[in-house]
Amino acid sequence: MAAVRMSSVRSAVMLAAVLLGVFAAGQCTEQVPLLMWTSSGFSSAPWSDPAAGHTVSLSELQSYLNTAFRSAPHNVLLFFQDKLSVDDFTKYAGVFGNKQGSAFPNLEMNLQSSSSLFLPSVSSSASASLPTLLQDELNTAPLYMDPDTLAQLRLNASLPALLIFNLPYSSSGADMMSVKEVLSGNDEVIGQVLRIMGNQPVPYTAIYTALRPSRVIEEVFPEVRSVGARSLLQYRREGSPAPYAPVEFKERGSTCILLWAKNLTVSEYRSGKWERHNLGPKTFGEGVSPKLEGSFCNATHSRLVLNYENVLSYRSFKLIFVMSQRHYKVSARRWFTMDRVQLEYDGKTASFNGSRNIYAPAEYSYRCHSVTSFRYPQLTPRSAKDGANDWRVAFDDFQIQGFNVTGTEFSYASDCAGFFTPGIWMGLLTSALMVLLLTYGLHMIMQLHTMDRFDDPKGPAISVPQTE
Ligand SMILES: *[C@@H]1O[C@H](CO)[C@@H](O)[C@H](O)[C@H]1NC(C)=O
Ligand SMILES: *[C@@H]1O[C@H](CO)[C@@H](O)[C@H](O)[C@H]1NC(C)=O
Ligand SMILES: *[C@@H]1O[C@H](CO)[C@@H](O)[C@H](O)[C@H]1NC(C)=O
Ligand SMILES: *[C@@H]1O[C@H](CO)[C@@H](O)[C@H](O)[C@H]1NC(C)=O
Ligand SMILES: *[C@@H]1O[C@H](CO)[C@@H](O)[C@H](O)[C@H]1NC(C)=O
């Protein structure tokens, strides 16, 4: 009996440890962005940007603050949002020359007129400790504020102050505000606070960051997004029988666009059913070189045109990828987007928009397990009347790079989350849990013993020795 109990305790402890491990591993690798800037006219000590892809830890964040507050003003405004990810900036911030659409007009205006630091990836445990770190750094207690109470507060430039503004990320239930509306609401609060500060002759340092990332899947398992996905791809290329080279477009002697895919399938809806055609065999492989007339690239725009003949009974057929790259002010780096995928068949066109879904840092390549216009579409017909409504495209194991290509190899791949969607992760975790519980149950059943003595109502009561 004791043995059974011991092993059940051990299994339970193991189960708990595994579960804890799963959650702990998740927690310490979550990342949030951090923005820090000073009021105009003040500069902080020069800061060195972290290497791309590096996650700033608690101690590194502390040393950043140490350096900064040697010269930065000690009146600190901390805008602390529930959740935030770099993706929020790339999705909702304006880009140069296109300010209307931005959710962060106040933030962008203030960043322009001051010296700022952008850390794209700070571990969320470090950002969560920020109030404590700042409290130690400034030697003052934090005040939790909103803009109305701020207007009544008199700050003194020679006395440090730590003012914390909590900002929401998700809307509260009833009103179905979109993320963008919530973010612009928060930006408005930031703008209001900075205008109040502007009316006082007190210089300040402002910080905008979050407690947790808003897009957890990618951040919880960053190795899947970066290293994992890339090594998956390389593994497949090196190990299995599909090692063909990407399509390469050269401009003035140097490669400027690379494209690789397992399948490039186009389908047209004809008399009640989808007729499919896989362009893969005409595009990739030994001795196949598709014509690329019409392709071009310059520093900001690139366009890859694949020319085919006799596809789905069209004499000429073109598959066109249109990409551009821009500098995004808030994330302080260049990103490229695949703006459009276009089909041209015997003079007619079908256009799919892809702009805000398919993007990567400009010097990286973009890869995705599946890019389609129908299931979980990243590509949508340009308009309701566009010819694209009669077409479907599906690209499997797709990888593309249209900028900063060096040599004939893809750069580091930025993976879309599509391969490991939240659904898939939940499925994986749930199955793991079920398997664990099942194993635990089986283990318990195998530990059961048949009793070796049975009670005889007529005989003397049996006694079980305690020392067994
Ligand atoms: C700011 O604080 C210093 C030191 O406590 C004090 O001497 C000074 O008068 C204060 N200035 C204002 C404008 O209140
Ligand atoms: C690619 O296309 C071929 C032929 O059209 C098909 O048999 C295969 O299943 C496709 N592969 C994937 C991953 O969809
Ligand atoms: C690149 O090409 C695009 C589209 O043709 C054009 O609008 C843009 O001015 C070009 N940029 C440069 C730097 O040549
Ligand atoms: C697709 O992009 C074009 C040009 O950028 C734009 O005018 C159009 O509204 C977009 N369509 C959709 C459905 O987003
Ligand atoms: C990427 O290309 C642009 C324009 O060709 C260039 O200005 C930039 O320095 C390049 N970036 C890297 C990291 O190579």
Give the span between the Cα atoms of 3 and 106, in whole angstroms: 67
Contact 238, 230 (CB under 8 A): no
Q: What are 204-259's pLDDT values in tens digits?
A: 999 999 988 886 533 333 333 333 333 333 333 333 344 688 899 998 888 999 99
Listed as own residue / partner, the contacts of 270-275 with beta carbons closer than 8 Å and 24 or more positions apart are 274/392, 275/312
Distance in Å, CA 214 to ligand 3 centroid: 35
Let me know if residue 43 belongs to a domain. yes
Q: How far apart are CA 335 and CA 326, in angstroms?
A: 6
Q: Are residues 204 and 251 in the same domain?
A: no
Mean pLDDT of the chain: 78
Instruction: Find where tokens 């591993």 sit.
Output: 25
Indicate whether 6 belongs to any domain. no
CA 404 to centroid of ligand 5, rounded, Å: 6
**Residue among 365, 151, 354, 168 at smallest CA distance from 261:** 365
Q: Are residues 178 and 105 in the same domain?
A: yes
Task: Decide if 26 is inside a domain.
Answer: no
Supply the range of the domain harboring residue 290.
Answer: 247-415
Looking at 383, 398, 415, the residue that finishes a domain is 415
Same domain, 187 and 299: no
- Ligand 2 pocket test: pick from 266, 278, 419 the residue with the most ligand atoms within 8 Å of its Cβ: 278
Question: Which residue would you say has higher pLDDT here, 9 or 108?
Answer: 108
CB atoms within 10 A of CB 400: 26
Say whether both 288 and 386 belong to one domain.
yes
The least confident of 118-122, 185-189, 326-330 is 326-330
pLDDT band at 395 (very low <50, low <70, confident <90, very high): very high
If asked whether residues 113 and 257 sit together in one domain, one would say no
Return the CATH number at 336.
2.40.160.110
- 3-class SS of residue 377: coil
In a domain, 220, yes or no: no
- The per-residue pLDDT for 423 is 56
Amino acid identity at 143? L
Is 270 found in the same domain as 408?
Answer: yes
Cα–Cα nearest to 95, from 335, 298, 323: 335
pLDDT in tens, 252-276: 888 999 999 988 999 999 888 899 9
Tell me the torsion sign for CA atoms 164, 168, 174, 177. Answer: positive
* Residue at 240 is within a domain: no
Domain count, the chain: 2
In a domain, residue 149? The reply is: yes
pLDDT digits (tens, 9 = 90+) for 87-115: 777 777 765 444 566 788 888 888 777 77
Residues 375, 287, single domain; the answer is yes
Is the pLDDT assigned to residue 14 strictly greater than 90?
no
**Residue 45 sits in the same domain as residue 180:** yes
Within-domain flag for 217:
no
Does 9 fall in a domain?
A: no
Residue 458's φ and ψ, nearest 5 degrees, are -85, -30
Are the CB atoms for 145 and 152 separated by under 8 Å? no
Q: Which H or E run includes 258?
A: strand 254-260
Calculate how far, in angstroms, residue 158's C-alpha sits from the geometric centre of ligand 1: 7
Q: Is 158 in the pocket of ligand 1 (CB under 6 A)?
A: yes
190 and 320 belong to one structural domain: no
The ligand 4 site (C-beta within 6 Å) comprises 353, 380, 382-383
